[in-house]
A = this chain, B = another copy of it.
Amino acid sequence: MCGIFGIFGHEEAANLTYLGLHALQHRGQESAGIVSSDGQKLHAHREMGLVGEAFSAEKLAKLSGRAAIGQVRYSTAGASKLENAQPFMVEYVGGGLAIAHNGNLVNAERLRRELEEKGAIFQSDSDTEAIIHLTAHSRAASLEEKIADALRRAQGAYSLLFLSEKQLIAVRDSYGFRPLVLGRLKNAYVLASETTALDLIEAELIREIEPGELVVIDKAGLRSSHPFPPTRLGRCIFEHVYFAKPDSMLFGLSVYEVRKKLGMQLAREHPATADLVTAVPDSGVPAAIGYAQVSGIPYDVGLIRSHYVGRTFIEPQQSIRHFGVKLKLSAVRQVLKGKRVVVVDDSIVRGTTSRKIVKMIKAAGASEVHLRISSPPTRWPCYYGIDTPSRQELIASNHSVEEIARYVTADSLGYLSMEGLGEAVQDKSASTFCNACFSGNYLTENFLTKTLSPPETPERSRVVSA
């Protein structure tokens, strides 16, 4: 996952991009980068680490000009290196070009192979580099046509920002997998993955960039086109479930309100007899509050999250025990002791963390732990930009809910149904969202080598007593 931000027409373009990236930091903590344009030339700085670590006042000052784009990138194992940090910046036949990408192409390997056969060289592991090659190879006349040309060949998820010396171009794939919004700050146009970045810099939200839309911003103003064949919508449901920041408006809905409704619906689908409802912080909090309101069981804080577990914290090597989640969460003994506890989390991936949390709550004295998950079982890997493990590692793809409950040592376990999920996002049939991680119904063909077994009939999610 990544967060992207762009601005055109403001004298503090790089400074505002820096702030905008800070607001999007939850979307990626591995690396941060900004490319600015002074109208004649692009200027770049990329570095590993958080936005606040990657940029100093001195480095920002070098990023001159009234237009800029930036990216924060998520840390995925093995590829954490500066070569992969974005925005990429290249020179091509048209001059300088920078690109910031949120999403993932499913035909990246095929494109790469084809491009290499034509003589292209790749300096990163990233699928984004293929997009730049395709753009540079296009015979179309203008940059926007080249980009459209290139992206007609790309399949998968992309919200993209391009910066040339003279233009800022924003594109979103026709499925609309990843978010991208347009705002205005005085005379400047602003683009961001989420509205929280607009709010921070006090920019006004104009609208979403539409799925399949290509927007060009330059001195002449803003013009929009829809150069791609239309498809059904496939907006990522998991952005609402987990990924986006709760204060953002996403796909027209309040993330916070959606999450609270997920919890409300969860309370209806999987009630529990309990003394209190608590959340796995921070992502589980809105759903837990919703669960508490519908169930009438009081909400309380049974788990505290530490603010200080960053990238630099390393467990002592010699140590016999593995501390893991304990370094991040601590249980409030006096709240939990002797209580029947409903714990609300957004999802279960491998099950190992959930198991540790349930055990921690029991060690703090809870008499019963009822785990409630505000989404259906995660059974399928995402090929559209969320970092999920393979089917083998996803506990729900090869275990029943009963088995999972037993593994995580919960007294009961309830997952939200697909219907309940659809309800919360005001799309019962879920025909405008991608829910492949739950259903296996991928919206695109997949050409990645990470092989994919055919979707099994997903068993109905239900409460089980362990």
Which A residues fall within an 8 A CB radius of B? 12, 14-15, 18-19, 22-23, 25-26, 29, 50-53, 56-57, 60-61, 82, 88-93, 97, 112-113, 116-123, 132-133, 136-138, 196, 199-200, 202, 245-247, 249, 254, 256-257, 260, 282, 285-286, 289, 293, 298-301, 304, 306-310, 312-314, 316-321, 323, 326-327, 330-335
Known contacts: A50-B308, A316-B18, A319-B12. The answer to whether A121 contacts B132 by CB under 8 A is yes
Known contacts: A116-B92, A120-B92, A121-B136. The answer to whether A308 contacts B25 by CB under 8 A is yes
The reply to whether A316 and B60 contact each other, CB–CB distance below 8 Å, is: yes
Q: How far is the CB of A374 from chain B (nearest CB, A)?
A: 15
A448 to B122 Cα, complex, angstroms: 27
Known contacts: A92-B121, A313-B51. The answer to whether A335 contacts B15 by CB under 8 A is no
Which DSSP category, helix, strand, loop or mixed, fits chain A's interface? mixed
Contact among B89, B301, B309 for A286, CB-based, below 8 A: B301
The reply to whether B330 and A247 contact each other, CB–CB distance below 8 Å, is: yes
Q: How far is the CB of A2 from chain B (nearest CB, A)?
A: 15
A53 to chain B: which residues have CB within 8 Å? 312
A121 to chain B: which residues have CB within 8 Å? 90-92, 97, 132-133, 136
A321 to B249 Cα, complex, angstroms: 24
The reply to whether A254 and B334 contact each other, CB–CB distance below 8 Å, is: yes
Can you give 17 contacting A-B residue pairs, CB < 8 Å? A19-B327, A22-B327, A50-B308, A52-B309, A52-B313, A57-B316, A88-B123, A90-B123, A91-B112, A91-B121, A91-B123, A196-B330, A200-B326, A256-B332, A286-B301, A289-B300, A310-B310
A22 to B299 Cα, complex, angstroms: 28
Residue of B nearest to A316 (CB): B15
The reply to whether B318 and A15 contact each other, CB–CB distance below 8 Å, is: yes
A310 to B122 Cα, complex, angstroms: 35
A196 to B301 Cα, complex, angstroms: 15
Contact among B93, B133, B254 for A333, CB-based, below 8 A: B254
The reply to whether B123 and A332 contact each other, CB–CB distance below 8 Å, is: no
Q: How far is the CB of A28 from chain B (nearest CB, A)?
A: 11
A260 to B318 Cα, complex, angstroms: 40
A97 to chain B: which residues have CB within 8 Å? 121
A14 to chain B: which residues have CB within 8 Å? 316
The reply to whether A254 and B332 contact each other, CB–CB distance below 8 Å, is: yes
The reply to whether B15 and A330 contact each other, CB–CB distance below 8 Å, is: no
A26 to chain B: which residues have CB within 8 Å? 307-308
Contact among B61, B301, B320 for A256, CB-based, below 8 A: B301
| A-B interface, 8 closest residue pairs, ranked by CB to CB distance from nearest | A119-B137, A254-B334, A52-B313, A15-B316, A93-B116, A90-B121, A25-B308, A91-B122
The reply to whether A304 and B245 contact each other, CB–CB distance below 8 Å, is: yes
A25 to chain B: which residues have CB within 8 Å? 306-308
Q: How far is the CB of A91 from chain B (nearest CB, A)?
A: 4
A112 to B90 Cα, complex, angstroms: 13
Question: Which of A22, A247, A289, A326 counts the most B-chain CB atoms under 10 A from its CB?
Answer: A247
A22 to chain B: which residues have CB within 8 Å? 306, 308-309, 313, 327
Known contacts: A247-B330, A310-B50, A332-B254. The answer to whether A116 contacts B137 by CB under 8 A is no
Q: How far is the CB of A292 from chain B (nearest CB, A)?
A: 8
A334 to chain B: which residues have CB within 8 Å? 249, 254, 256-257
Q: How far is the CB of A157 from chain B (nearest CB, A)?
A: 22
The reply to whether A318 and B61 contact each other, CB–CB distance below 8 Å, is: yes
Q: How far is the CB of A45 from chain B (nearest CB, A)?
A: 10
A29 to chain B: which residues have CB within 8 Å? 308
Residue of B nearest to A93 (CB): B116
The reply to whether B52 and A200 contact each other, CB–CB distance below 8 Å, is: no
Q: How far is the CB of A241 from chain B (nearest CB, A)?
A: 16
Q: How far is the CB of A135 from chain B (nearest CB, A)?
A: 8
Q: How far is the CB of A302 from chain B (nearest CB, A)?
A: 9
Known contacts: A57-B317, A137-B119, A335-B257. The answer to whether A327 contacts B15 by CB under 8 A is no
The reply to whether B286 and A249 contact each other, CB–CB distance below 8 Å, is: no
Known contacts: A19-B323, A51-B313, A90-B122. The answer to whether A289 contacts B318 by CB under 8 A is no
Residue of B nearest to A334 (CB): B254
A289 to B276 Cα, complex, angstroms: 12
Question: Which of A61, A123, A199 counts the most B-chain CB atoms under 10 A from its CB?
Answer: A123
